[in-house]
A and B are shown apart, each in its own frame.
Chain A
Amino acid sequence: DSGVTQTPKHLITATGQRVTLRCSPRSGDLSVYWYQQSLDQGLQFLIQYYNGEERAKGNILERFSAQQFPDLHSELNLSSLELGDSALYFCASSVVPYGYTFGSGTRLTVV
């Protein structure tokens, strides 16, 4: 157990739908990072939050959004889902820029 908790582990949904992925960071970590992993693109950085504020954005689509709550857990919202959004979604947390711990991921399948 890495200390970073992601739910759900698996999600199957239809195109056009909206889903929410949840991440609880390791105790004491203020930063949360979201990544998308697909076979063709590899592990792609989506967005980072630090203590409730957005800090950095990567290759995140406009249909995707995220937020970090006062208790530091984070949610990644994916809307108007397309087949190509099927992927593994990971979150990671860190307390300083140089220590990253990953959760076990959420496998999203869009049918």
Chain B
Amino acid sequence: SQELEQSPQSLIVQEGKNLTINCTSSKTLYGLYWYKQKYGEGLIFLMMLQKGGEEKSHEKITAKLDEKKQQSSLHITASQPSHAGIYLCGAAMESGGSNYKLTFGKGTLLTVNP
């Protein structure tokens, strides 16, 4: 089973519209990361959240981590074609001992129509 569930799997919006992508875990998250990826290219780091209730913003993108640290949302305000791509949430999860591995959701494909 997928440890991190992202929704929706894909999203098509009109330029200028707001949108939200969700990331849910069944386990407590020790660090939650949001990345953006253009198809076939590398992952671009967007934001990292660690504390329950934490919220961070960068330009028109805001990410939040809920108090229980099991769910995060990524919100884009006034979307632009440059926001198009695959958004991936990744979470640091215990992998035994004091080790952690970064586990990813399957991603959300965002298309922004001009």
Contact = CB atoms under 8 A, between A and B. Distances in A.
A103 B40 contact: no
A42 interface: yes
Interface in A32-60: 33, 35, 42-43, 45, 48, 55-56, 58
Interface-centre pick from B90, B96, B101 (highest chain A CB count, 10 A) = B101
Interface string A92-111: 10000111111111010000
A106 B96 CA distance: 28
B102 A33 contact: yes
B70 to A, nearest CB: 17
**Majority SS of interface residues in chain B?**
strand
Contacts, number: 58
**Majority SS of interface residues in chain A?**
strand
Contact of B95 (A35, A56, A92): A56
Nearest to B103: A45
Contacts of B103: 45
Contact of A98 (B42, B92, B95, B101): B92
15 contacts: A33-B101, A43-B88, A43-B104, A55-B95, A55-B99, A56-B100, A58-B101, A97-B30, A97-B31, A98-B30, A100-B90, A100-B102, A102-B43, A104-B41, A105-B42
